[in-house]
Chain A
Amino acid sequence: MLTLPIYLDNNATTPLDPRVLEAMMPYMTNMFGNAASRNHAFGWQAEEAVDYAREQIASLINCSPKEIIFTSGATESDNLALKGVFEMYASKGNHIITLTTEHKAVLDPCKHIEKMGGKVTYLKVDEKGLINLKELEEAITDKTILISVMYANNEIGVIQPIREISTIAKKHGILFFTDATQAVGKIPVDVEADGIDLMAFSAHKMYGPKGVGALYVRRKNPRVKVTAQMDGGGHERGMRSGTLNVPGIVGLGKAAEVAKQDMESDTKRIAAMRDRLERELTKIEESYVNGSVEHRLPHVSNISFKYVEGEGLMMGVKDLAVSSGSACTSASLEPSYVLKALGLSDDLAHSSLRFGLSRFTTEEEIDFAIGHVKEAVSKLRELSPLWEMFKEGIDLNSIEWAEH
C-alpha cells in the first residue's frame, strides 16, 4: 500500500526508527534521572544509559567512548569545534581553511570568527563539488590552526577525500575537523583510519531523535581541546555544560548501533533504488545530475531539469516531499550556493531537485516518484517559454533578459 505523500527528503531529516524509539521510551517515563546525580539510583541509571550510548557511538566511528561530547545537534557541534578551537589555539594562530560548499552551520561560525579577528580561507570546489588538494596545501600558512572540510555534502551528497585532507593537515601539524552530519551512520566513518581530530554529527540524520548530536574530540595523537562555548556545571569534561538529554542520547546510541549493524544491507538496497531513480529520471531530455557520481553518498541524487523552475516543480510533485535548489521565496531570489559553487548557471541551479532516500524507502515509492516527476516535468515544460525557445533552437544566452 502506497501512502502519500512520499518522503524523499532524508537529507533534511530522517524518521525515527522504531527500534530507537523503543530504546528511548523508558528514559522518557520512569527512568528520568539526571545523569549528573551521583548519589542515588535514578542518577546512576541515567549515567549508565549515557555511558552505554557513548560505547555504541564509539563503536560506530572507531573511537574511545571518552572522546564523545554530547551536544544538542550538529549545529552546536560545529560551533563548538570551530569557535572552541579558535579560542583554545589562539596562541598558535588564527587562520582556518574551509570550503565554500560547507553547511551554514560551518560558514556562519567562520564569519563570526572573522569578526573576532580570525582569518578564514574559503576554498572553491571543482565542477564535481570536490576539493582541490593542491589549493588546500597552498592555502596553509604558519598561522593556520584548523582545516574544516565536510565529510559529505548535504545538497549533492559528494564525499570529500577525507584521508588525503587529514594527511595534509597532519603533515603541517594542523587540526582537522569534519562536519560529518550526512555521512555518519550512512557510510563507514572511522576517525582513526580517516585521521580526524574533531567531528560533528547528529542523531536525526541517522534515524535518531532531533535535538541531540555529538562532537568527537580526539584525546590522543594529538590531544585536542576546545574552549567551552557554554558555561555551567562543567559537564562533558568541561567542554559542554548542561544537563544531558538522556533519552536523546540513548536514542543516538541506539541509532548508531542499528546503523552499524544494518549499514551494509541498507546501503546495497538504497543505492540500487537511488540508481534506478536516477537512471529513469535522467532519461528525461535535458536533465543533469549535479555533483560527482563516483564520490557520493548512496542515498542522494540531485538532478536539474532544465527549463523548469524548481519551486514550481515541487508544487507539481505535490505527492513527493523533496527539496529544491531554487529559493524563489527569499527576497534575493538567490539559488543554492552549493550548486552555484559547482559552476552551475543560475537557471540550472533554479531547476534542481534533491532526492534523499532512507532505509524505509520502498521500490513501490520509487516507481511512483519516477512517474510523478516525469509527468510534472513534461507538464511544466509545456508551460515554459524557455522550453519552447529551446525547441525552436533559440540560444537563451542571446536574449537580453530584463534583470529584475
Chain B
Amino acid sequence: MAYSDKVIDHYTNPRNVGTLDKAKANVGTGLVGAPECGDVMRLQIEVDENQVITDAKFKTFGCGSAIASSSLATEWLKGKTVDEALAIDNMAIVEELALPPVKIHCSVLAEDAIKTAINDYRVKNGLPELEMPKSHH
C-alpha cells in the first residue's frame, strides 16, 4: 500500500512536535490510544483568554498515517477557538490526507485526542466536561 504525498510530507516533516507544560492551567492534554494497539497520540493545546488556541503540540507512537493525522491536527488547531476545534471531524482528516479505509482509525484517534485535550482544558478551568463520543470502534 502506497502512502499519499501528504502523509509522506507530514511524516517526513512533522509539524509542531513537542511538549507543552501540562501543569499550566491554560494547557489541555489529550493522551489516547494504547501501546498494545500500536498507536498512542499525545496532543496538547495552549489556550488564551479569548478561547483561542495559540499553540498546539503532539507526539505520536504509531504508523505513518497516525503521525500524519496528529501533525495535521496540530496545524488545524492553531488559531482556532476551542469551539471551532471541537467541530473538527475525523473524516476531514481522512479526506485531507487521502487515508485508505484501513487507516481511518488513525484519524479517529486524532479526533479523540483533540476532544480529550479540550476536555482536559475545560475541567482545569472549572467548565463542565463534554460528552465524549467514545471511540468509534
Q: List the one stretch of B33-41, B45-53, B118-126 in contact with chain A.
A: B33-41
Kindly list chain B residues whose C-beta atoms are within 8 Å of the C-beta of A333: 37-38, 105
Whether the pair B3, A315 counts as a contact (CB closer than 8 A) is yes
Whether the pair B60, A385 counts as a contact (CB closer than 8 A) is yes
Whether the pair B61, A386 counts as a contact (CB closer than 8 A) is yes
Total A-B contacts with CB atoms under 8 angstroms apart: 100
Question: Is A236 among interface residues, defined by CB-CB distance under 8 A?
Answer: no
Q: List the one stretch of B62-70, B72-80, B81-89 in contact with chain A.
A: B62-70
Kindly list chain B residues whose C-beta atoms are within 8 Å of the C-beta of A329: 1, 102-103
Other-chain contact of B60, A315, A345, A384 (Cβ < 8 Å): A384
Mark each residue of chain A from 311 to 327: 1 if its CB lies under 8 Å from any CB of chain B, else 0: 11001100000000010
Given A315-B11, A386-B40, A388-B19, A309 and B63 contact (CB-CB distance below 8 Å) = yes
Mark each residue of chain A from 372 to 387: 1 if its CB lies under 8 Å from any CB of chain B, else 0: 0000000000111111
Question: Is B24 among interface residues, defined by CB-CB distance under 8 A?
Answer: no
Cα separation A385 to B103 with both chains bound (whole Å)? 20
- CB pairs A–B below 8 angstroms (14 shown): A312-B67, A328-B62, A328-B66, A329-B1, A331-B102, A346-B37, A383-B17, A383-B59, A384-B60, A386-B40, A396-B35, A401-B36, A402-B135, A404-B112
Nearest-Cβ distance from residue B24 to partner chain A, whole angstroms? 17
Kindly list chain A residues whose C-beta atoms are within 8 Å of the C-beta of B20: none
Nearest-Cβ distance from residue B57 to partner chain A, whole angstroms? 11
Whether the pair B32, A402 counts as a contact (CB closer than 8 A) is yes
Given A330-B102, A331-B102, A402-B32, A311 and B64 contact (CB-CB distance below 8 Å) = yes
- Closest-by-CB residue of B relative to A330 is B102
Kindly list chain A residues whose C-beta atoms are within 8 Å of the C-beta of B17: 382-383
Question: Is A205 among interface residues, defined by CB-CB distance under 8 A?
Answer: no
Whether the pair A385, B40 counts as a contact (CB closer than 8 A) is yes
Cα separation A294 to B82 with both chains bound (whole Å)? 57
Question: Is A201 among interface residues, defined by CB-CB distance under 8 A?
Answer: no
Kindly list chain A residues whose C-beta atoms are within 8 Å of the C-beta of B63: 309, 311-312, 315, 326, 328
Kindly list chain A residues whose C-beta atoms are within 8 Å of the C-beta of B39: 309, 328
The main secondary structure of chain B at its interface with chain A is mixed
Given A309-B39, A331-B102, A404 and B14 contact (CB-CB distance below 8 Å) = no
Question: Is B109 among interface residues, defined by CB-CB distance under 8 A?
Answer: yes
Which chain B residues in 80-118 approach chain A with CB under 8 Å?
102-103, 105, 108-109, 112
Which chain B residues in 1-23 approach chain A with CB under 8 Å?
1, 3, 11, 14, 17, 19
14 more CB-based (< 8 A) A-B contacts, given A347-B38, A385-B40, A404-B105: A310-B38, A312-B11, A329-B103, A345-B35, A347-B36, A350-B36, A383-B59, A385-B41, A386-B61, A401-B33, A401-B36, A401-B40, A402-B32, A404-B108
Question: Is A308 among interface residues, defined by CB-CB distance under 8 A?
Answer: yes
Whether the pair A309, B61 counts as a contact (CB closer than 8 A) is yes
Interface size on A, residues (CB 8 A): 32
Chain A positions within 8 Å of B, measured between CB atoms, are 307-312, 315-316, 326, 328-331, 333, 335, 345-347, 350, 382-388, 396, 399, 401-404
Interface size on B, residues (CB 8 A): 34
Whether the pair A404, B64 counts as a contact (CB closer than 8 A) is no
Given A328-B63, A386-B61, A404-B137, A311 and B35 contact (CB-CB distance below 8 Å) = no
Whether the pair B42, A385 counts as a contact (CB closer than 8 A) is yes
Cα separation A201 to B32 with both chains bound (whole Å)? 45
Kindly list chain B residues whose C-beta atoms are within 8 Å of the C-beta of A316: 11
Kindly list chain A residues whose C-beta atoms are within 8 Å of the C-beta of B137: 404
Cα separation A308 to B61 with both chains bound (whole Å)? 6
Nearest-Cβ distance from residue B31 to partner chain A, whole angstroms? 7
Cα separation A315 to B8 with both chains bound (whole Å)? 9
Given A402-B33, A404-B109, A311 and B38 contact (CB-CB distance below 8 Å) = yes
- Closest-by-CB residue of B relative to A332 is B37
Other-chain contact of A346, B35, B60, B66, B108 (Cβ < 8 Å): B35
Whether the pair A383, B34 counts as a contact (CB closer than 8 A) is no
